[in-house]
């Protein structure tokens, strides 16, 4: 009881200090609080009837603290830990302070541990004592208010009976009863959501499924979603759906505001399970190219009766031009009429919007402006009402008879009519560049007359006060003064007023200096990139030295060796750390950072060092499933499974610890690391029981220890059956089968192992099924008959003559499901090489993946000795048998490392292998069939021709001729050749002598095929052949005593690109005659051949495809005749063209522009051009071909390419490539910018002139130059005219227009036939007449000289005018009418233009023949 009294005294001592946190626990104050609550409720009811809500929806920027989970009281024993939990939300994030019995808790003492985990606050007392019995309070507060929650902790001595407590009166009696034991709920995420990369306007869904154990309906965890640690709830932009074992968040219409780190927290009484990922939202397509992105995070501040202040965050401009400013739009709720608030772009990301109507609600949005245009609008703000923020404060609730009866404004209370008192305490609560938000304390006021305020401003240090004009009366003691100058000092004062007068001015505030535009932040400091995962990188940087009201950062990323920078985030990031996600594994990137404030973006930081994306190394996880494989009483052989997670590097080393069962101290077994997962622990005590634990180690360090093994007794194994197999591995997992591999048991029992049995069971089942009733001798087995999608575990039992031994440790669960896209190994015989090839295409491939080939599931290591070659490229690998044998049958398998278990196999049986070997031999040893075996024919001069004919040969055929096993040379004077078309192969032996007797052989090779044929010339057959050869030799010498060719025909290309046929003749005389032929037609050159020099030359003018053919030259006289011929086609023609390409290309001039009436023509002047030359025109990188749009051709001196009717798409870099045997000669011209504009203008001019020339007025014919006529006769001048539109015709005499009358008759029939008729001509009618034919495209003037003579006089000789026709230009600019739309009709492709024929020019307008005199009228007798 004494202790209780002491506690009561202690509580009373602090009661006054704790009133603000303990009011709800005082019996008298509880009633008052209840009344206060009812007052507030009644007031709010009245407000709802009198005015619209200030906020149509809850404003996320303005929210007071609220406890979601309150503290709960506990009773604990001495020396035990206790932890109090509470969860609070609000914006800005509330700060929580802890109190003990109303006194601030001393956290620095170390006795109390306080944590804040994003809204979840805990107070932990690790070791309670009786002095900790107290009332604990958590007070949460922000700028919008504060709330509290309380709980009592009663600490009892151990085994102490229940005793009274000073807190027995508290309303939390039930929790103070014996301690509640909460059910531990374990949550494991089964399916996690991945990172999302989307574009504005799209939707995204994050969904997770989890297993909850125990899964109790009344104890389900609470799913909480957060974005950047801000709690999300259902809204227009966020949809949340949760149930048993799943939770889903949907973002139906993405905006950059939605970008951030999303976290799902599954909250239970025992803790929190969470998973996070990043959602990236890029800018959508801009309204116009290069327009900026939209702003984001639109916030409304300081809302009042006629103004609000709008703020936002600027977009990133990685690829767009700099931002010039922003436009702010508003829209009244209930309408769709958006009004722009500012006439010129606002430079900073904050803008005061004035001129609002009191009581009206508005939406706001912002648009970005740059030099290219205006962005799409931002996401609209939440609606906000223009209302007096003190509207609630002016309400008063009056209690009558203990109940609430009247709610009214302070203004409605009765009082004497007098002016209000002076306000006080005026001060600036927000200062910007052009405005200041002021706040003051209003006077005590209880009049029913309305109260308002006047604001006055003055430059600091001046006594000149100026009243601030406002749109509406200021009723709130908080108001913003706008239109101030930057960097100036002001003082403000306020006056209160009502209908009875104005109060004195309050004391002016301290001088307030408006802010100056400091500019953007300085560039961030050094950027450091470190590896995170195989698709992400952690970026860290130093904050800018001059932050200037920093808002956040934008991070850019660039692939190494490129200059294409892309945005990694599209919403400002506040921290100096950021994880860039969605990168390509193995790619190398650089990074840079820009700081941002309300004015704009800073300069870019320096680029980070390039970093290749790979997963960061971590220590491996623990090994597991330690198994005992053998024991001899002094040692044990252990095996274990490798860590489930290697940490990014191979686990190479293991360390083993041991301890006696029941002991707590582990002792090292091995100092040097163990490289294999099989280890013999020695020097053990027989009969003792041991436990073991194992560590794995990699480059990243030592991993965590495994769980302790089962207790193993060190007793000698004596059983007759084998010990357990170990190291079960799996490959070739398919929907209904898989292959199991294992290692041979260490302990074999009483005899050798004869086979193995493989058992399997579904996961969670104890029912085992034996896959093979008959034991298999190999250490692998294919298990079939599995259910697709089911999970199985496997074990292996070794057997000997004594029976099956103990099973191996069960494997990890394996799901019978094939990887998507899985393929099998294929086996074929290569059709070209005859190799037997096993090929595999992997459905997965990663950086560092390797292909391992096995035979009967043993890795193949001997390649060169076995004639096996492995070729791997990308995701494909082939095992090639270069020299397969009959012993190479078996099962061949392949495993791809660093994948999700990609593997496959193929079994080659002995019968299948025998068939493939036979096919391989046929492919490797093919026989070329021969039509004719080797034969001979004797030619002139006694030469011997050996030849044979194959069924078919290719251009790649090779062959050799042998005489008595000695290879014959095909060099001069001998000759050898072949004809692919006929399959004939021949060898001409120049000297066939007595030594040539024997066997002649020809060996032919074509691809993989071979052929051989022999001819035996011995005895009589050889003598007959030799005699015939001698005869032909003598006859040749006799005949060749006459004229002959000392040098046969050849083609010669001169440096000027001239092509000539040249030969040389000898043994001539005066009567010798030389002739040229092409085919059978003789060619007579302009200059006869000069035989004195013996050199004869025929020039082939304008060499082209037309020049091909067989050319012959003959020389003859009475002594005989000789002939030489050359076939200019095929390779000979190609060699000439190649030489011409070299000469033309090396001397080609630069490209020039020549405009025509149909397009823009590019010309390249060169020594010679023909269409057969290897010339290619290109536009940028695209090859051009002859067609309707581009006409390719040229003349003998130039190559041309004309762009018909050019457009903007035809701009760019044009080039011509002239390729010879050694190099490609290129000439380029950039047809863009001013060059294109000038050329296009010239083309338009020529096109217009041509159109005008075609359609102008013309005289087609019929008018003479001179007319002589006798007096009193009738003269008729008639002609045909044309033009479109129809021309106007006028007649002039001596420059004066002829006026039609009875004598002069002017007519124009059908718009085509014009005439001037003069009746009864007289001498005065002599002179020069002109007819003018003209329309809007111009025309021409034709002069006719008329000479009149009298009857009986000599007909005068009149001379025509010096310029009988004069062209008349168009009257104005030439306008070409748009072509009429006609249905397209197919037309044949234009024939390729052949050079050197120049392109045809447009036909000239017909010009009438001049100089024809009109017939002189005959004299009337």
Structure confidence by residue, pLDDT tens digits, 1166-1218: 999 998 999 999 998 889 998 988 999 999 899 999 999 999 999 999 999 99
Mean pLDDT of all residues in 1053-1080: 90
Beta bridge partners of 836: 829, 881
Nearest to 330 by CA among 294, 303, 302, 361: 361
Beta strands in 699-763 (DSSP E): 701-705, 712-713, 726-731, 737-743, 755-762
Mean pLDDT of 686-706: 92
Q: Could you tell me the CA-to-CA distances from 956 to 1005, 1006, 1018 in Å, in that order?
A: 9, 6, 34
Report CA-CA distances (Å) from 823 to 210, 814, 906.
Answer: 33, 19, 11
Position 742 scores a pLDDT of 94
pLDDT number for residue 1393: 39
Q: What is the pLDDT of residues 594-646, one digit of tens each?
A: 999 888 889 999 999 999 888 778 889 999 999 999 999 999 999 999 998 88
Is the model's pLDDT at 448 over the cut of 80? no
Confidence of residue 23 (pLDDT cuts 50, 70, 90): very low
Average pLDDT over residues 1254-1281: 87
Sequence-ordered alpha helix ranges (H) in 1080-1159: 1130-1147
Evaluate if residue 408 carries a pLDDT over 50: no
Find out whether 1096 and 1064 touch, Cβ atoms under 8 Å.
Answer: yes
d(CA 847, CA 1208): 45
pLDDT of 1243 higher than 50: yes
CB 439 within 8 A of CB 424: no
Those residues with Cβ within 8 angstroms of residue 868's Cβ, 6 or more apart along the chain or in another chain: 860, 862, 879, 880, 881, 882
Instruction: Give the position of tokens 């009723």.
Output: 475
Band (pLDDT 50/70/90 cuts) for residue 1358 is: low
State residue 6's pLDDT score. Answer: 39
Angle at Cα 220 formed by Cα 216 and Cα 226, nearest 5°?
160
Integer CA distances (angstroms), 250 to 253, 456, 1074, in order? 9, 52, 97
Query: What is the band of 752 on the pLDDT scale with cuts at 50, 70, 90?
Result: very high
C-alpha closest to that of 1114 among 1170, 1072, 1162, 1173: 1072
Which of 1286, 1259, 1255, 1250 shows the shortest CA–CA distance to 1365?
Answer: 1259
Identify the pLDDT of residue 477: 86
So what's the pLDDT on residue 1381?
53
Reported as a single tens digit per residue, the pLDDT across 700-744 is: 888 999 999 999 999 999 999 999 999 999 999 999 999 999 999
Residue 479 pLDDT > 90, yes or no? Answer: no
- d(C-alpha 518, C-alpha 351), whole Å: 17
- What pLDDT score was predicted for residue 1400? 41
At 1048, the pLDDT band (50, 70, 90 cuts) reads confident
pLDDT value for 1380: 60
Which single residue is written with the structure tokens 């290109």? 1178
Residue 253, pLDDT above cutoff 90? yes
Global pTM reads 0.46
pLDDT at 1363: 64
Residue from 375, 287, 291, 386 nearest 330 by CA: 386
Q: pLDDT band at residue 1035, thresholds of 50, 70 and 90? A: low
pLDDT of residue 1401: 39
pLDDT of residue 58: 36
pLDDT score, position 75 = 86
Task: Please name the residue that has the structure tokens 């952690």.
Answer: 538
**Other beta carbons within 10 Å of 192:** 14
- Work out the average pLDDT over 1042-1060: 88
Q: What is the pLDDT of residue 1361?
A: 62
Examine the pLDDT at 15 and tell me if it is beyond 60: no
**pLDDT (0 to 100) of residue 162:** 41
Whole-angstrom CA distances from 1082 to 99, 1076, 1114 are 125, 6, 11
- Given a cut of 60, whether residue 1114 has pLDDT beyond it is yes
Residue 532 pLDDT: 82
**Cβ neighbours of residue 827 under 8 Å, at least 6 residues apart?**
836, 837, 838, 839, 906, 908, 912, 916
Cβ-contact 354, 305 below 8 angstroms: no
Strands 851-855, 890-896: pairing kind: antiparallel
What is residue 739's predicted lDDT score, i.e. its pLDDT? 95
What 8-state DSSP symbol labels residue 971?
A: S
Render pLDDT for 296-348 as a digit per residue (tens, 0 to 9).
999 998 888 788 899 999 998 878 888 999 999 999 988 889 999 999 999 88
Q: What is the pLDDT of residue 183?
A: 59
**Averaged pLDDT for residues 1266-1293:** 89
- Residue 4, pLDDT score: 41
pLDDT of 1255 reads: 87
pLDDT of residue 397: 47
Average pLDDT score over residue span 283-295: 90
Look at residue 418 and tell me whether its pLDDT is greater than 80: yes
Banded pLDDT at 1034 (limits 50, 70, 90): low
Share of the chain above pLDDT 70, in %: 87
**What pLDDT shows up at residue 157?**
77
Report how far apart the first and last C-alpha atoms of the chain are (Å, whole number): 173
Give the distance from CA 353 to its chain's centroid.
Answer: 41
* CA 597 – CA 603 distance, rounded (Å): 12
720 neighbors 799 (Cβ within 8 angstroms) = no
- Residue scoring higher pLDDT (877 or 847): 877
Question: What share of residues in the chain are helix, strand, coil (percent, to 5)?
Answer: 10, 45, 45
3-state secondary structure (DSSP) of residue 284: coil
| Other Cβ atoms within 10 Å of 1150 Cβ, number | 10
Determine the average pLDDT of the residues in 1027-1049. 77
pLDDT at 1116: 87
Work out the percent of the chain whose per-residue pLDDT is above 90: 43
Residue 1027 backbone dihedrals phi, psi, to 5 degrees: -65, -45
State the Cα–Cα distance between residues 286 and 297, nearest whole angstrom: 19
Q: How far apart are CA 843 and CA 876, in angstroms?
A: 9
Tens digit of each residue's pLDDT (9 = 90 or more) over 181-220 = 555 678 888 899 999 999 999 999 999 998 888 777 777 8
pLDDT for 616? 78
> What's the pLDDT score for residue 45?
56
pLDDT digit string, tens, across residues 995-1012: 889 999 999 998 778 899
Ramachandran class of 1283: left when φ > 0, alpha when ψ lies in -120 to 50, beta otherwise: left
769/51: higher pLDDT: 769
pLDDT bin (cut points 50, 70, 90) of residue 1408 is: very low
Residue with tokens 């990685």: 318
The pair of structure tokens assigned to 1051 is 């083609």
Which residues lie below 8 Å from residue 115, measured CB to CB, with a gap of 6+? Answer: 121, 122, 124
The whole-number average pLDDT for the span 276-288 is 91
Grouping H, G, I as helix, E, B as strand and the rest as coil, residue 62 is coil
How far CA 534 is from CA of 400, 531, 568, 1119, in Å, comes to 73, 8, 16, 92
Between 202 and 1383, the higher pLDDT residue? 202
Instruction: With cut-offs at 50, 70 and 90, classify the pLDDT of residue 462.
Output: confident
- Averaged pLDDT of the chain: 84
Neighbours of 1281 (CB within 10 A): 27
pLDDT tens for 1299-1324 read 898 888 988 888 788 888 999 898 88
**pLDDT over threshold 90, residue 1337:** no
SS3 11: helix
Lowest mean pLDDT among 187-196, 300-309, 871-880, 981-990: 300-309
């Amino acid at each position: 009881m004494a202790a209780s009294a002491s506690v009561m005294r202690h509580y009373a001592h602090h009661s006054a200090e704790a009133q603000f946190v303990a009011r709800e626990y005082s019996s008298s104050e509880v009633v008052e609080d209840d009344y206060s609550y009812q007052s507030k409720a009644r007031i709010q009811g009245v407000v709802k009837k009198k005015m619209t809500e200030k906020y149509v929806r809850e404003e996320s920027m303005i929210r007071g603290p609220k406890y979601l989970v309150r503290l709960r009281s506990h009773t604990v024993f001495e020396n035990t830990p206790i932890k109090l939990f509470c969860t609070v939300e609000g914006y800005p994030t509330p700060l929580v302070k802890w109190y003990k019995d109303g006194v601030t808790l001393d956290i620095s003492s170390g006795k109390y541990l306080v944590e804040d985990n994003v809204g979840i606050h805990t107070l932990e007392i690790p070791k309670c004592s009786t002095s900790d019995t107290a009332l604990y309070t958590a007070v949460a507060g922000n700028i919008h208010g504060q709330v509290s929650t309380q709980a009592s902790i009663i600490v009892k001595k151990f085994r102490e009976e229940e005793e009274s407590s000073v807190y027995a009166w508290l309303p939390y009696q039930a929790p103070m009863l014996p301690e509640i034991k909460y059910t531990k709920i374990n949550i494991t995420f089964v399916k996690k959501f991945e990172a999302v990369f989307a574009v504005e306007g799209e939707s995204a869904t994050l969904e997770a499924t989890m297993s909850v154990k125990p899964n109790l309906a009344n104890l389900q965890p609470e799913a909480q979603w957060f974005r950047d640690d801000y709690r999300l709830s259902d809204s227009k932009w966020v949809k949340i759906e949760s149930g048993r074992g799943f939770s889903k968040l949907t973002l139906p219409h993405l905006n950059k505001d939605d970008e951030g780190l999303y976290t799902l927290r599954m909250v239970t009484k025992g803790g929190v399970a969470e998973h996070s990922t990043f959602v990236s939202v890029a800018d959508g397509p801009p309204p116009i190219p290069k327009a900026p992105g939209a702003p984001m995070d639109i916030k409304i501040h300081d809302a009042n009766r006629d103004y609000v202040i709008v703020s936002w965050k600027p977009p990133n401009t990685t690829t767009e031009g700099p931002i010039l400013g922003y436009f702010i739009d508003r829209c009244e709720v209930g309408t769709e009429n958006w009004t722009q608030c500012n006439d010129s772009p606002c430079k900073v990301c904050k803008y005061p919007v004035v001129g609002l109507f009191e009581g009206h609600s508005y939406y706001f949005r912002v648009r970005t402006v740059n030099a290219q245009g205006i962005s799409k609008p931002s996401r609209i703000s939440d609606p906000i009402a223009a209302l007096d923020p003190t509207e609630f404060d002016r309400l008063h609730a009056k209690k009558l008879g203990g109940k609430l009866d009247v709610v009214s404004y302070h203004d409605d209370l009765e009082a004497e009519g007098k002016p209000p008192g002076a306000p006080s305490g005026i001060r600036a609560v927000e200062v910007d560049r052009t405005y200041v938000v002021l706040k003051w304390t209003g006077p005590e006021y209880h009049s029913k007359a309305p109260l308002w305020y006047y604001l006055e401003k003055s430059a600091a240090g001046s006594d000149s006060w100026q009243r601030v004009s406002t749109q509406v009366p200021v009723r709130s003691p908080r108001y913003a003064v706008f239109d101030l100058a930057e960097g100036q000092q002001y003082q403000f004062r306020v006056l209160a007023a009502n209908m009875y007068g104005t109060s004195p001015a309050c004391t002016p505030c301290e001088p307030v200096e408006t802010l100056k535009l400091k500019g953007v932040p300085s560039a961030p400091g050094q950027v450091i990139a470190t590896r995170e995962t195989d698709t992400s990188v952690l970026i860290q940087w130093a904050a800018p030295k001059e932050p200037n009201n920093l808002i956040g950062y934008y991070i850019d990323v660039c692939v190494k060796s490129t200059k294409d920078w892309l945005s990694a985030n599209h919403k400002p990031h506040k921290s100096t750390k950021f994880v860039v996600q969605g990168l390509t594994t193995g790619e190398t990137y650089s990074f840079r950072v820009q700081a941002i404030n309300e004015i704009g973006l800073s300069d870019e930081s320096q680029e980070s060092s390039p970093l290749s994306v790979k997963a960061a190394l971590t220590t491996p996880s623990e090994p597991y499933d330690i198994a005992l494989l053998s024991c001899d009483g002094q040692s044990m052989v252990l095996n274990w499974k490798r860590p489930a997670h290697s940490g990014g590097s191979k686990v190479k080393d293991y360390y083993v610890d041991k301890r006696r069962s029941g002991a707590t101290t582990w002792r090292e077994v091995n100092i040097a690391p163990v490289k294999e997962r099989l280890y013999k622990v020695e020097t053990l005590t027989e009969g003792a029981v041991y436990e073991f634990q194992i560590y794995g180690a990699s480059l990243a360090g030592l991993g965590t220890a495994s769980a302790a093994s089962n207790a193993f007794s060190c007793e000698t194994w004596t059983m007759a059956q084998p010990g357990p197999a170990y190291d079960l591995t799996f490959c070739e997992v398919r929907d209904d089968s898989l292959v199991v591999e294992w290692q041979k048991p260490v302990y074999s029992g009483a005899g050798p192992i004869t086979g193995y049995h493989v058992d399997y069971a579904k996961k969670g089942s104890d029912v085992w099924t034996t896959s093979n009733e008959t034991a298999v001798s190999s250490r692998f087995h294919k298990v079939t008959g599995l259910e697709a999608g089911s999970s199985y575990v496997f074990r292996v039992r070794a057997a000997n003559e004594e029976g099956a031994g103990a099973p191996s440790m069960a494997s990890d669960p394996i799901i019978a499901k094939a990887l998507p896209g899985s393929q099998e190994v294929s086996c074929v015989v290569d059709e070209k090489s005859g190799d037997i090839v096993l090929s595999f295409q992997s459905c997965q491939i990663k950086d560092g993946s390797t292909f391992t080939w096995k035979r009967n599931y043993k890795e193949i290591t001997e390649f060169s000795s076995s004639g096996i070659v492995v070729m791997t490229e990308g995701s494909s690998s082939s095992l090639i048998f270069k020299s397969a044998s009959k012993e190479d049958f078996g099962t061949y398998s392949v495993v791809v490392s660093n994948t999700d278990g990609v593997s496959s196999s193929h079994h080659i049986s002995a019968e299948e292998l025998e068939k493939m070997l036979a096919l391989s031999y046929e492919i490797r040893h093919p026989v070329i069939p021969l039509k004719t075996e080797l034969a001979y024919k004797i030619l002139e001069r006694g030469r011997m021709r050996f030849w044979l004919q194959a069924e078919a040969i290719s251009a790649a055929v090779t062959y050799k001729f042998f005489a008595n096993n000695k290879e014959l040379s095909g060099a001069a004077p001998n000759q050898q050749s072949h004809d692919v078309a006929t399959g004939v192969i021949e060898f001409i032996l120049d000297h066939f002598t007595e030594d040539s007797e024997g066997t002649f052989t020809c060996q032919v090779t074509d691809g993989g095929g071979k052929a051989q044929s022999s001819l035996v010339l011995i005895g009589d057959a050889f003598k007959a052949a030799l005699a015939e050869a001698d005869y032909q030799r003598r006859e040749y010498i006799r005949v060749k005593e006459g004229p002959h060719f000392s040098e046969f025909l050849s083609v010669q290309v001169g440096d000027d690109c001239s092509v000539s046929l040249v030969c040389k003749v000898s043994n001539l005389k005066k009567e010798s005659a030389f002739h040229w032929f092409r085919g059978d037609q003789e060619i007579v050159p302009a200059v006869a051949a000069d035989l004195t020099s013996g050199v004869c030359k025929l020039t082939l003018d304008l060499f082209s495809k037309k020049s091909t053919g067989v050319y012959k030259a003959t020389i003859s006289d009475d002594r005989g005749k000789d002939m030489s011929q050359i076939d200019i086609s095929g390779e000979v023609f190609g060699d000439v063209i190649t030489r011409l390409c070299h000469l033309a290309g090396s001397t080609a001039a630069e490209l020039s522009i020549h405009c025509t009436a149909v397009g823009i023509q590019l010309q390249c002047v060169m020594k010679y051009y023909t269409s057969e030359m290897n010339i290619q025109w290109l536009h940028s990188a695209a090859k051009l071909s002859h067609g309707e749009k581009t006409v390719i051709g040229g003349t003998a001196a130039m190559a041309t390419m004309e762009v018909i009717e050019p457009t903007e798409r035809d701009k760019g870099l044009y080039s011509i490539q002239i390729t010879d045997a050694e190099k490609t000669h290129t000439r380029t011209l950039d047809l863009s910018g001013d060059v294109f504009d000038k050329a296009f203008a010239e083309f338009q001019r020529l096109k217009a002139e041509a159109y005008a020339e075609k359609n102008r007025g013309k005289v087609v014919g019929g008018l003479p130059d001179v007319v002589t006529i006798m007096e009193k006769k009738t003269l008729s001048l008639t002609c045909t005219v044309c033009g479109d539109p129809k021309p106007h015709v006028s007649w002039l005499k001596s420059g004066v227009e002829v006026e039609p009358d009875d004598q002069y008759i002017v007519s124009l029939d059908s718009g085509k036939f014009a005439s001037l008729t003069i009746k009864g001509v007289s001498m005065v009618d002599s002179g020069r007449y002109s007819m003018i034919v003209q329309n809007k495209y111009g025309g021409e003037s034709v002069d006719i000289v008329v000479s009149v003579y009298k009857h009986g006089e000599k007909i005068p000789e009149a001379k025509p005018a010096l310029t009988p026709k004069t062209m008349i230009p168009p009257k104005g600019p030439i306008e070409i009418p748009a072509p009429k739309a006609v249905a397209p009709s197919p037309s044949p492709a234009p024939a390729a233009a052949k050079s050197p024929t120049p392109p045809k020019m447009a036909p000239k307008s017909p010009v009438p023949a001049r100089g024809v005199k009109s017939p002189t009228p005959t004299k009337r007798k």
